A and B are shown apart, each in its own frame.
Chain A
Amino acid sequence: MLSTAFYVGAALLLLGTVLPLVRIGGDGVMRRIALFFSMLALLVFISFSVFILYTNQQVYLAPYGIAPGLVLSFRIDRLAAFFILLISVVALSASIYSVQYIGHWHGEKRKNILTGLMNLFIAAMLFVVSSANMFAFLFFWEIMSMSSFALVLFEYEKPETRKAGLFYFIMTQLSTLFLTAGFLGLNAVTGSFAIQPADIGTGAAGVVFLALFVGFGIKAGVIPFHKWLPYAHTASPSNISALMSGVMIKVAIYGLMRFTLTVLQPETWWGVLILVAGTLSAILGVIYALKEHDIKRLLAYHSIENIGIILIGFGAYIIFTNNNLPDIAMLCLLGSLFHVLNHAVFKSLLFLTAGSVVYRTGERNIEDMGGLVKRMPYTALFFLVGAVSISGLPPFNGFVSELMIFTALLQSYALVDPFMKVLMLSSLAILALTSALASACFVKAFGITFLAAPRSDNAKNAKEVGKYMLLGPMILAFLCMSLGIFSYQIFAGAGYVLPIPDLLLIGSFLAAAYVLAWFVLKNVSSSAERMGETWGCGILTQTGRNEYTASGYSQPIVRIFSSIYRTKEVREATYFDESKSLFVQGSAEIHLVKFFEEALYLPIARLVNSLSEKVSRLQNWNLDTYLAYVFIAAVLIMVYVGWFI
């Protein structure tokens, strides 16, 4: 019964992939049918995964051999079901949103390709998390990577997009390379490709873990492997950004958790590595986000930050487990997993609503927006819900998962090792800074984009988006709220009674206090009110130009953290006389040094370039030379066989 549900869902999704590609030039009917199929499929997957989550059972599907020796096998347990649930929920909203959103591009062919690839992308992600052997895992992982690569390149005419595509392609292939190496390493020790507990020596396990950590870390956007993420998420269409940022990077987290928890036995230093990488990603992610004015890139940097928070929880879980503190460890793991779900929900919500704003204003720069709260009130409301959630404020969902991780880290007094205590506390302090900076960043993002007076004509003439583009985000906004308010009950229902505040109670208190304050004041105070101008030191009418800008808003923080941004100032001046007293003309420029690009990526790229140049000298397009190579190779093989075997 359960496996049938899976097959039905999979079949519907694949139909949704094929249909728009079959009648590629059609009038859009196929596209709508395909989206409808994918919505149906995702509803099936949602009920399927919720059922497994709450009954805590495992589902095995019949293995499928695509070639002798290469078998795709599937198994869905609670962890996989959890990820299926979050992929399906986000993908469902993105599909609903896409009904209208896809319509605004030109060319039926393109729109159909976008729809088909999007469904393929969703299907691939669902299959990755259902895989029971490493071959299936890699197979679908590659489909996921390639379909998303094609989707990033959707607007391939723009040079910026082509650069993003190239970056993404290289990084994602590098990720696959490391994963393959890790899997082959596991296979070399155990002789099996099944994803099952493997008892291998600590040395081998450490090497395998490192390979997998780099592989998954690249895909998840962990600093310093993050550079593709802000490019790719900015360049792709907004519904795809929502999927990539909301779910695809979570698939990498799934892989990391699956292989460290199910397959290998984590050691404490793995936990330390994950914790440190997570802390670094969290703080640098948000610091980079603060200086961004491109709304989609700002959100992309916040994905790096949140992946960091997830990793902090996961790393702390390993450390607490290995120190025999199972209760605190459980709090960390559940907090980390809950944050995976929460981030998927609110980040997709933010990307979809940001997409609506870009769709209506044609701008990605928030300095050219403003005043949209009056023009796009529902979009503004949903964005606000996302902003409050991502800032980790009660009673929304982001708060609960952060609270769980915070509470667990605060309890690190229970640890024995002083080094671990100090490590946990440093991570705690940085996490607090991260979360406060995130809320500063979202005050900026929401305030500059939606509040006050419009800063450009495009913003002034913006209109609210259509109902499908509101319905998709609305589902997610509703989830943000209910996952927060009912968090205690949700965990209790799944069998975990946690030491966290009951937000249903707090939420009702808040609502009661709000209504009480409103009611009391309505009765005891004057209700007179009038409209006037904003006070501006005597300026009679305010325009968009009087307003605080986004750069101005984040300037204090940028200045405080200036050593991290690594700015480079270039000043040039010419003088009339030799003693440099009479100034003729000059210029001053401030450049942001792209630290990771210039210190890490480019040197590697240059190295590869120079190596390949040297290798290419071996190829001189001359038959004699190639014959000589063959001869040398043959001799070498004979020597090897003669001496060693």
Chain B
Amino acid sequence: MNASFLLYALLNTVLVVLLSPFYMGLIKIVKARAQGRRGPPLLQPYYNLSKLLKKERIYSKNTSAIMRATPYINIAVMLVASLCIPLALIPTPTDGIGNVILFLYMLALAKFFMALSGLDAGGTFGGMGSSREMSISAIIEPITIIAFAALSFSLHTTDFHQMFLERAGATAFLNPGLLLIAIPLFIVLIVETSRVPVDNPETHLELTMVHEAMVLEYSGRDLALMELSHAIKQTLYMAVLINILLPWGLTSELTVAGILIAAAAFALKAGLLSFVTGLVESSMAKMRFFNLPSLFMIAFFFSILTIWLEVFG
């Protein structure tokens, strides 16, 4: 914990908060274009957030303090979790903040309270969303862990900062083992950000939805916080995938030029990934809820394959 770490923390947080809504909008545009529509303006998510900040909040009579605290808990958790995942500048590993498990369980903390808030109002939609979200997250959890275990088997560390450092310094173009991990990491990204084929972020008040049902009772600035947290979560998972697979531009030196280039490189790569995500979403139909485990098994298979390569290769 020193001045350079604080500088990293500040830079990383600002970058995450500023960039995150952008990719939400970008994916929407890609999907709209793929479906032959024009889609919303690129900066629409920012307009939405500022609009929500001006609106009043409505609480159900049934709700408790959980409902009011959850948006703040969510955003706080996301901001702190973003310290685990350097977007552009890699700090010298400090105090185990890059710990893989810490990152995962911070996100689980946010999810725990979000699921509780889904039950708080006593409506059927919230309960249903909450139940589904927790079920999905339970069955995706071993897959995420095994994907991260595959990462630590390949890179021999359990710390994201060290993983990225190693990748940034790597001379090899692409490691075949890491290429395989990209598949489970991408599936985890899709699942955790509630996208097709697991969930449908477009639908409201349909029986298909998961995440949107949970936050149905939120309004005003609370909803803005929930949406921003969701966007940050997406950026963080994208950053894991990008910085492992395409580490070019990542820097560990504190120079203005280096940081600017790294940030620009990240913005570009994340844009590319959003494009791919949008295409994948448009080319698939939402799966039936109870068919999801088979999708997860694909992710599981590729993680195990990577580990097999490391163990027996």
Contact = CB atoms under 8 A, between A and B. Distances in A.
B61 to A, nearest CB: 6
B80 interface: yes
Interface stretch (B34-42, B148-156, B195-203): B148-156
Interface string A529-557: 11111111100001010111000111111
Given A403-B99, A531-B61, A546 B123 contact: yes
A546 B124 contact: yes
Interface in B73-132: 73, 75-77, 79-80, 83, 95-97, 99-102, 105-106, 108-109, 111-112, 115-116, 118-128, 130-132
Given A394-B109, A452-B119, A500-B99, A436 B62 contact: no
B112 A391 contact: yes
Contact of A451 (B66, B95, B131, B158): B66
A560 B112 CA distance: 20
B53 A443 contact: no
A501 B152 contact: no
Contact of A525 (B53, B65, B80, B120): B53
Contacts of B65: 373
Interface string A423-443: 001001111110111011011
A410 interface: yes
A552 B131 contact: yes
A155 B134 CA distance: 37
A513 B76 contact: yes
B211 to A, nearest CB: 15
Interface string B141-165: 1101110110011001010000000
B180 interface: no
A499 B140 CA distance: 27
A505 B98 CA distance: 13
Interface in A374-414: 374, 388, 391-394, 399, 402-403, 406-407, 410-411, 413
B169 interface: no
Interface in B218-239: 220-221, 224-225
A560 B124 contact: no
Which residue of A501, A526, A557 has the most chain B CB atoms within 10 A of its CB atom? A501
B116 A513 contact: no
Interface stretch (B19-27, B240-248, B274-282, B304-312): B304-312
Interface residues of A, number: 82
A452 B125 CA distance: 13
Contacts of B126: 534, 548
A495 interface: no
A633 interface: no
Interface string A497-514: 001111001100111011
A439 B180 CA distance: 30
B107 to A, nearest CB: 10
Contacts of B310: 413
Interface residues of B, number: 82
A556 B132 contact: yes
A411 B152 contact: yes
Contacts of A413: 152-153, 156, 310
Contacts of B135: 440, 556-557, 560
B286 interface: no
A599 interface: no
Contacts of A453: 62, 122
B146 to A, nearest CB: 5
Nearest to B71: A517
Nearest to A371: B62
Given A439-B134, A533-B60, A429 B76 contact: no
A532 B123 CA distance: 13
A518 interface: yes
Interface in A553-574: 553-557, 559-560
Given A410-B152, A428-B149, A436 B158 contact: no
Interface in A417-473: 418, 421-422, 425, 428-433, 435-437, 439-440, 442-444, 446-448, 450-453
Interface of B: 1, 53-62, 64-66, 72-73, 75-77, 79-80, 83, 95-97, 99-102, 105-106, 108-109, 111-112, 115-116, 118-128, 130-132, 134-135, 137-142, 144-146, 148-149, 152-153, 156, 158, 205, 216-217, 220-221, 224-225, 289-290, 293, 307, 310-312
